[in-house]
Structure 1
Amino acid sequence: MKLPHDPLWPRAQSLFSAEVSGHSDVTLVGIPASQTSLSPSSAHETPAAIRSALLRYSTAHSDPRVSLERLILRDAGNVSSPDSNEQITIEQLTKLKAETELLISLGGDNSVSYSAFKATGATGLITFDAHYDLRDGISNGSPVRRLVEAGLDGKKVVQIGIADFSNSVEYAKRAKDFGITVIPRSSLRARTISDVWAEALAIAGSKIFVDFDMDVCDRSVVPACPAAAPGGISADEIRQFAFLAGSSTGVVGADITEIDSTKDSSDERTVRLAALVVLEMIAGLSTRE
């Protein structure tokens, strides 16, 4: 990607250091996984594509409280894929989390949420997802079920954006049996974003992991998400939620998943939106007190 250089217009990617150790406010890490995806996917290619998309953006923000330049931002590269050895992935991520306030993982399909959550030591989970991810087995459709069965209290799980005609009655029942709070896409139409986020925070508790499964968005803005459907949340809505996640002191980790960058539109709209979700989280974090 060849872009014009302007010393008065710094690019967001330039804020990230590749230093391999030391404290950071935010650490970005890729988790290249795709082999257990329920549909054929090259999601393991996506971390690199999101990093490249960061070149498209600047460091400026309309909120006067935001200052990305004062933060220590680190890009730790990619960890090994959980497709090969999930425990090694968790160990690598755990080491990174020990030196950062907020660990942002770039998937990879949604199976990476299990490793990313476990590594942060979170005790609550908020998902932005069209799907429950409560399937049996190990796949991109099972991380929430696996986490609950591994000890996560289902009553501290909030799932935002669950879509009609994208799930089964049986998995809806499983979510209810686990005690999960579901805020479906249909409910979002009558509520403010701040109200929904406040409810989610109150339920998830004090150490929260946020899963941004990008297929929660309308298919028109995320064509590289195989399971996205028309009628999902807008690009602006997910950006607002990302800012709120970053600004919330209880949020210790997050991931961005379910993008197959090799299937993106020619204007790269999916990975560009994912890069903006990263930047909105970091902008929000810069406002923490």
Structure 2
Amino acid sequence: MSNYKLPRKDNWIGRSSDQQLYLNEKIILSSIKSPFQSNQNKTIALLGYSSDEGVRRNHGRVGSSLGPDAIRKQLGKMPNHLDNNTQLIDFGNLECNDEDLESLQSDLSVAVKFFLDNNAIPIILGGSHDLAYGHYNGLSQYLPEGKTIGIINFDAHFDLRPNINGNTSGTPFYQIATEHEAKNESIKYMALGIRKDANTKDLFEFAETHHANYLEQKYFCMTYLEHVELRLMQFIEDVDYLYTTIDLDGFSSAYAPGVSASSPMGFSPDIVLKSLKLILESGKLLGLDVVELNPNYDVDDQTAKLAASLVHYVIHKV
């Protein structure tokens, strides 16, 4: 296992009550190295991917290794509306040792399958977007034979760059696509919020030739809500399970200044929440992550609060 750090209680701060009114009072701390069995109706497993090695390799601005704990510190302050039969467990962080990103991705796969084998829903806190490769593999290893999993990526970028010089935060879906191609399968991939000013033409060509679904940012907004929902429903109907990944750099910097690659031209939280509602109502969600929070560039914890609010929404609706 990579450099694994146990969860820390001081990441879960906030108001106190005698009724578990806040998530810092609801949270349970545990270890991925300990036997674990969910005895509740619902268990949500939080794990941090505390690495920015993929961003560094991709020539981005580093700092996303600090993201998981920054999300926890905002999430703990938020109100708890979970019922008594729902467990919320923090399993700490996986960290990158000696720039060995590939081992970290492999360890994440093992952890994700561990959660699913124990009837827990994995929510991974990032960390650079290379975690998607490890997360997806863990979900895939859990799938029953013959079942399909679709990827829904909220992002400004396709992250379909070739990994000729090693895995980076820009390569995870290329890796997944080429591995499916080797098995004569097509990747089930939908990217929402893609920007032409953030992706080269060869990435669009790769997406087209591999039959990837995508919506450009100019159409991923409330003005086109009906169209967004129709495209999403069509994609969801075509798969058995869903893996959802939210890259915070897809949001406009008006909402998310603290990311690895910020831009004022991104999407807004309202269209993401509408989309998440459809995903959660489908009952097909198998795992979710929130990535690319970079506290070094955040303003008044605005991006950390956005990330925490998204997680808060999901854990109460899943």
TM range (shorter): 0.7 to 0.9
Aligned pair 1:79/2:131, yes or no? no
Aligned pair 1:263/2:297, yes or no? yes
Aligned pair 1:47/2:68, yes or no? yes
Q: Give the residue type in structure 2 aligned to 1:102.
A: I
Give the 5 Å matches for 1:210-225. 210-225=244-259
* Structure 1 runs not aligned, ≥5 long: 61-66
Match of 1:195 in 2: 230
Decide whether aligned partners of structure 1 residues 56 and 195 sit closer, same or farther in structure 2, where only a CA change above 3 A counts.
farther
Share of identical aligned residues, percent? Answer: 19
What is the DSSP-based 3-state SS (H/G/I as helix, E as strand, rest coil) of the residue aligned with 1:146? helix
Deviations 1:94-123 (A, max 9, x none): 222321342111111101110011111262
Normalization by structure 2: what TM-score?
Answer: 0.80
Tell which deviates more after alignment, 51-60 or 103-112. 51-60
CA distance in 1, matches of 2:107, 2:20: 40
- Alpha-carbon distance, 1:258 to partner: 1.2
CA distance in 2, matches of 1:269, 1:246: 25
What is the DSSP-based 3-state SS (H/G/I as helix, E as strand, rest coil) of the residue aligned with 1:187? coil
Aligned pair 1:26/2:44, yes or no? yes
Aligned length: 277
Tell which deviates more after alignment, 152-161 or 250-259. 152-161
> In the alignment, which of 90, 94, 97 is matched to residue 113 of structure 2?
94
Q: Give the residue type in structure 1 aligned to 2:280.
A: G
Match of 2:180 in 1: 151
CA distance in 2, matches of 1:252, 1:241: 16
Q: Give the residue type in structure 1 aligned to 2:235.
A: A
Match of 1:64 in 2: none
Match of 1:132 in 2: 158
Q: Which ranges of 4 or more aligned residues in structure 1 deviate by more than 6 Å?
A: none
8 A contact 1:127–1:159 mirrored in 2: yes
8 A contact 2:48–2:92 mirrored in 1: yes
8 A contact 1:36–1:140 mirrored in 2: yes
Normalization by structure 1: what TM-score?
Answer: 0.87
CA distance in 2, matches of 1:76, 1:242: 24
Match of 2:53 in 1: 35
Match of 2:288 in 1: 254
What is the DSSP-based 3-state SS (H/G/I as helix, E as strand, rest coil) of the residue aligned with 2:246? strand
8 A contact 1:259–1:270 mirrored in 2: yes
**Root-mean-square deviation over aligned CA pairs:** 2.3
Tell which deviates more after alignment, 88-97 or 222-231. 88-97
- Alpha-carbon distance, 1:283 to partner: 1.4
8 A contact 1:101–1:252 mirrored in 2: no
CA distance in 2, matches of 1:143, 1:277: 22
Match of 1:63 in 2: none
